Structure 1
Amino acid sequence: MGEMIVSMDQDIRLDTTRARLSNLLKRHRELSDRLTRDSDKTMLDRLNKEFEAARRSQSQEVFLDGEEWNDGLLATLRERVHMEADRKADNGNAGFSLVCHPEERITYRVGNKVICCLDGSRIGIQFETSTAGETYEVYHCVLESKSFLEKMIVLEHTIPFFLPLSDLENDLLFSNAKKFIDNVGDLLQAYVDRKEQVRLIKELFGHQISEIYHSLPYHMIEFSMDDCDCKFVVSLRYGDLLCELPTKVRILVWPMHHLSKKQCTSPGSPAIPVRLPFAEDAFRIQSLPEAYAEIMPNMPNEIRQLFQTSPS
């Protein structure tokens, strides 16, 4: 059964949250326009072509698993790209597009990541996110260091600007490059999973949902419905950008005017927003479309019983 909300401050917080999410949507449109400038498209196209050339020119692709994927491999790649850069500088040979010798043109695949040598003392990482077993979106990150003794930096990338790549770079890249690469891959996959859940719930149940808001990284999601003679507001928060399921869920329901008069027969029936713990539990353990599909068939009976029963 529902849990009565005893403080009207929560109504105010809902309005505040909705206003903030509306502002985020406005910022999203503005930033999306900025990110579609020709310069950004040029960088994306250039990196796509460069990584495709590296994959085509490889002599072999090595699949790594478990302990085979470690910082030692990255150190070897760093040494290789610097040795090749020095060799090309000594020979005055600028004709190669790849840094490895033909017999050493190896790319490494680790889960959803492909790692390869690029020209100019650079190491490229391609992140292949997926949904339902199919490749969804591909992102690139290029690392560079001026010498083998200097720390690597992120030279350029196609990762969404609102994900904390700079924080990961500052915290991990110098001390643990492997963990940096793994965390970026996990961050992108979690972002894509949340994004796809929102897309699916719009596609499958958009005719039932009156409004839906989300932050840029999809770590704050809110949607409302006018159904079952009530208005619902579902608020989801993801405490960590690596989360695919929400860590905080709140579902509030208001009876519509005609329901409160005709069906709320008990003198103590709630007339203010009520939480629905049974529905909140479903959203904590399932994806958005799965949880929605599970709770909605029984929702009319649950709501009718809720507002016809006096709270104890």
Structure 2
Amino acid sequence: MESDIEESLRKRPRKYLFSGDSSRKQFEHLAGRPYSIMGENFMQDGDLQLETTRTRFASLLKRHGDLTERLSRDSDKTIFERLLKDFEAAWASQTEEVCLDGEQWNDGLLATLREQVHMEAERKVMPRAANISACPRERITYKIGNKIICGLEGARIGIQYQTSFAGEPCDLYHCVLESKSFLEKMTVLEHTIPFFLPIREAEKGLLSSNAMKFIDYVGDLLQAYVDRREQVRLIKELYGNQIGELYHSLPYHMVEFVLDDCDCKVTVSLRYADLISVSPTKVSVLGWPMHQSKKNATNSALLGSHPSPIRLAYAEDALRTMSLPEAYAEIVLNLPQALDQMI
């Protein structure tokens, strides 16, 4: 019995030594492979995956933009054309056009217009004899800033918004309000306002309590959106060959682009406080010095030694105080001097 146990104990270490020796040999075999090559392959694979992700993301953004444009064009076109005919019919039958300024545009005037459209709707459903004997009603169209307000058929109130950019007329938008009676609150019946602007939130927050503020807010919302959009469109048109990448949100309240300069790569990030802001509130402009001019080897060495981006304060100030196209020109014009000062 004891001899059997001793024999077992003598054999067990040999078994573990064999296993450990085998594991050590396998580890040495793996460790003998060039680690730098493995690391290089890993980094190359990571870069490849990152580039694939960037390509797919860029493709997704393009498809999303194309789809958004097509949906907006197809769905809003029919409504736009129909509402435009309604407005033209109202203008053709108007008895007076009134331009309002400042305090002339108030809740009392809007209440009067509401009363008129409901009385007109009631008159049309009266018996023919009573309708003929009824006095004709005034049909007044009001112009307030970039807004035209008038009564439409069916006890509706229509607002047409005329946006502009750089003093030139831009897009037309429409919003139609209705209420079941003069005493009930108004609601948005239909509109041609882009779906990504918060028209329904404004309806819930403002229209039930103050219709005049709602109408003014929607006008400010549309004008600010068009202003931001046209600024981005203009820099693409003027400086498209200098811009490497450009991304923006649908309402253009977040904008990012890259400026590829021979001496420096500049990234610009703009954030707007809200959707009625025309000037950005959060601005970040960073420069990455790249390969430098052969004319100045000293400057080349200094700029090439920057491992992290450099903040371009002058560019951030320009973007806060100027329009985007003007600020872009300012950035490009003063970039060489700014780099020299950094050196």
The alignment's TM-score, normalised by the length of structure 2, stands at 0.77
- Other-structure match for 1:28: 65
Please identify the structure whose Cα radius of gyration is greater: 2
1:40-90 deviation line (CA, Å, top 9, x unaligned): 322111011111221222121101112110111111111111111112122
2:222 aligned with 1:188: yes
Bigger mean CA offset, 16-25 vs 185-194: 16-25
Query: Matches of residues 137-152 of structure 1 in structure 2 within 5 Å?
Result: 137-152=171-186
Change (3 A) 1:49 1:102: farther
Q: How many residues align?
A: 286
AA at the equivalent of 1:165? I
- Other-structure match for 1:69: 105
- Other-structure match for 1:279: 315
Gaps of 5+ in 2: 1-50
Change (3 A) 1:21 1:173: farther
Change (3 A) 1:272 1:155: same
Query: Matches of residues 41-52 of structure 1 in structure 2 within 5 Å?
Result: 41-52=77-88
2:199 aligned with 1:162: no
Instruction: Give the Cα–Cα distance (whole angstroms) in 2 for the partners of residues 267 and 34 of structure 1.
Output: 48
Change (3 A) 1:29 1:267: closer
2:170 aligned with 1:136: yes
How far 1:211 sits from its partner (Å)?
1.7
Q: Verify the 8 A CA contact 2:289 2:303 in the aligned structure 1.
A: no
How far 1:277 sits from its partner (Å)?
1.0
Counterpart secondary structure, 1:198: helix
Bigger mean CA offset, 20-29 vs 136-145: 20-29
How far 1:92 sits from its partner (Å)?
6.2
1:130-189 deviation line (CA, Å, top 9, x unaligned): 112221111000000011121100000001110011111000001110000000001111
Change (3 A) 1:17 1:146: farther
Instruction: Give the Cα–Cα distance (whole angstroms) in 1 for the partners of residues 55 and 340 of structure 2.
Output: 27
Instruction: Give the Cα–Cα distance (whole angstroms) in 2 for the partners of residues 122 and 182 of structure 1.
Output: 18
Match of 2:76 among 37, 40, 47: 40
Instruction: Give the Cα–Cα distance (whole angstroms) in 1 for the partners of residues 72 and 179 of structure 2.
Output: 27
Q: After TM superposition, where is structure 1 displaced by more than 4 Å over at least 4 residues in a row?
A: 15-25, 257-262, 266-269
Instruction: Give the Cα–Cα distance (whole angstroms) in 1 for the partners of residues 157 and 123 of structure 2.
Output: 17
AA at the equivalent of 1:254? W
Counterpart secondary structure, 2:228: helix
Q: Verify the 8 A CA contact 1:54 1:116 in the aligned structure 2.
A: yes
Instruction: Give the Cα–Cα distance (whole angstroms) in 2 for the partners of residues 47 and 119 of structure 1.
Output: 11
2:154 aligned with 1:120: yes
Counterpart secondary structure, 2:125: helix
Which gives a bigger RCO, structure 1 or 2 (Cα 8 Å, sep 6+)?
1
2:144 aligned with 1:107: no
AA at the equivalent of 2:160? Q
Counterpart secondary structure, 1:125: strand
Identity, in percent, stands at 62
Instruction: Give the Cα–Cα distance (whole angstroms) in 1 for the partners of residues 317 and 164 of structure 2.
Output: 26
The alignment's TM-score, normalised by the length of structure 1, stands at 0.84
AA at the equivalent of 2:206? L
How far 1:264 sits from its partner (Å)?
4.8
Instruction: Give the Cα–Cα distance (whole angstroms) in 1 for the partners of residues 322 and 256 of structure 2.
Output: 16
- Other-structure match for 1:8: none
2:126 aligned with 1:90: yes
- Other-structure match for 2:207: 173
Change (3 A) 1:117 1:253: same
